[in-house]
Structure 1
Amino acid sequence: MTAKKEVRFREVPAVRKAVAILRLLSRAADPMGVNAISKELELVPSTCLHILRVLAEEGLVVTESGTKRYTLNVGILSLARGLMRGNEMIRFTQPELDRISRRYNVSIIAAKTIDIEHSVAVAISHSSSAMRLNVEVGSRFPTLVSATGRCYAAFGNVSDEELAEQFPKLRWHVAPSRRDWKKQISEAKVQGYAVDIGNYISGHMVISVPIMDHDLMAYGIAAVGNETQVKKSKDDLVADIKAVIENIDKH
């Protein structure tokens, strides 16, 4: 395993605060006022207001008509549209995710791994079952949880020291033992995919297959469904996802 070069960067507080505001508004069910935003993010209200005014000028947020409360503006969509237009993987994958979801009655999520702590959903197809995942495009989640996390641990050039540091921070429905988790990571290296049975979501099985870029995991495609149902179709489901990834590589 090659040593990772430490990346140094200069902290830019205003940028970090602006991003935090955008993420908060993306999660909010209703528009929020300056005081509510600053309290939630522990910002100085005047600083929060100045940042909101700049974001509004750039078309990323807008004040609700007749109030002083803020919500996301359509400028966010133009940024996302550029990502979707420029990402061949997302454009090619979505119809395939829909097909697999219908065939096996599972929810399918394609996620981009940002780093060892963060991943983001870039494409999703929900199953028709009553249980609906609380995940949408743009949702962020810890990289190392569930089956996708085992894949990243296996194919992300992660050291044992990093895994030992991150494991206690992970949240599960029923946490696996560290020993079992490491065994499952080793199995993922051999099989080319990882499985989570009931650890992350009670009564559900998650299968994740990595999408590699220069021998490192860049994305993961995960299927989530009823444990009994997914177990019966596991081999076919894995083969189907791997076939999709092979076609992505050809593109």
Structure 2
Amino acid sequence: MSASPDQDLSPKIVGAVANAVSILRSLAQMSEPAGVAVIARDTGVSVSTCFNILRTLSTERLVDFDAEAKTYRIGLGVLELSLPLLGANQADLIRPELARLSGEHKSLLCLWQVTDGERIVLVDRVSTAKTVRVDMSDGSRLPTFVGAVGRCYAALRNLPRDELKLRFDALQWQAPPSFEDYAADVEKARRDGYAFDLGQLFKGLEIAAAVVTDAEGRPRLGISGISIAGQLSREDIERLGVDLRDSADWISEALFGVSRGVRQSERRLAGGRAAPQGRGGQR
């Protein structure tokens, strides 16, 4: 069967479009207007190409140009494009990303809402598997500190060890880890930005997860990928964790205005590595 143009299985990336998007993202993250040279350096786009794209974006009102200062900033036209998304349900906006992750990793993808009562509630789930698969019911509730999402949540809460132990002792697992192992997993999640639960919360299930944060660093959403034990290799589970972290970074930025560079710098600091100078360390 031949694929139609809309079904291209290996779409070609259009460089000009990719550069324009990179420029818009750069301007959206800048706290003040910037000149062409600064924007080009920040995006890695050549100065001449950057200038031509900015001129086009200015014509379309997606960026504003200050003729006197020779600087650019994000324009009101971007808001016009985003109007259909304003007020939309967060789960609806995130669902395409869940579907992508599910298809690439052959796992059930779950979106969890973090509540004020230290619970996570399943608000959406996507599975593209055509054969044997695991499933969970919408509205399922779990304590925030349990499982793979819980390890990420605990990493962000950064509680004193004795207080973390109290929270851990109140949790229920089908195959409980030791507190020492749990605490080590939490510390690793603080450095890596993702965590695993390999048959401890639910026997026979392997879970990877990451957490979406708001501008104040508070956990708002959890994203987990769940598979039947043995379906994915250890390397595949690790890749799932990395992809979940990257998606959580992107969603944190798109929904809550948290720069991906900021989240990456926080992880580097947790790992004892200095944050590099540049876009991530400056915003």
Question: What is the TM-score when the length of structure 1 is the normalising length?
Answer: 0.59
CA drift at 1:132: 2.6
CA drift at 1:238: 2.7
1:206 corresponding residue in structure 2: 207
Conservation of the 8 A alpha-carbon contact between 1:151 and 1:209: yes
CA drift at 1:115: 3.8
Conservation of the 8 A alpha-carbon contact between 1:115 and 1:143: no
1:51 corresponding residue in structure 2: none
CA drift at 1:131: 4.2
Structure-2 separation of matches of 1:122 and 1:211 = 14
Q: In structure 2, what residue type is equivalent to 1:250?
A: A
Structure-2 separation of matches of 1:201 and 1:149 = 14
Q: Among 207, 215, 218, which residue is 2:217 paired with?
A: 215
CA drift at 1:237: 1.8
User: Per-residue CA shift, 1:196-231, capped at 9, x if unaligned?
Assistant: 111112232111111111222221111111333152
2:236 corresponding residue in structure 1: 233
CA drift at 1:195: 0.8
Structure-2 separation of matches of 1:120 and 1:87 = 19
CA spacing shift, 1:107–1:89, aligned 2, 3 Å: same
Structure-2 separation of matches of 1:235 and 1:173 = 23
**Which sections of structure 1, spanning at least 5 residues, go unmatched?**
1-83
Conservation of the 8 A alpha-carbon contact between 1:116 and 1:144: no
CA spacing shift, 1:236–1:140, aligned 2, 3 Å: same
Provide the aligned C-alpha RMSD in A. Answer: 2.4
Conservation of the 8 A alpha-carbon contact between 1:85 and 1:91: no
Structure-1 separation of matches of 2:203 and 2:145 = 18
Q: How many residues are matched?
A: 167
**Higher RCO, Cα 8 Å, sep 6+:** 1
**Which sections of structure 2, spanning at least 5 residues, go unmatched?**
1-84, 256-283
Query: Is 1:182 matched up with 2:183?
Result: yes
CA spacing shift, 1:159–1:121, aligned 2, 3 Å: farther
How much identity, in percent, do the aligned residues show? 27
Conservation of the 8 A alpha-carbon contact between 2:103 and 2:128: yes
CA spacing shift, 1:127–1:156, aligned 2, 3 Å: farther
CA drift at 1:245: 2.6
Greater C-alpha Rg: 2
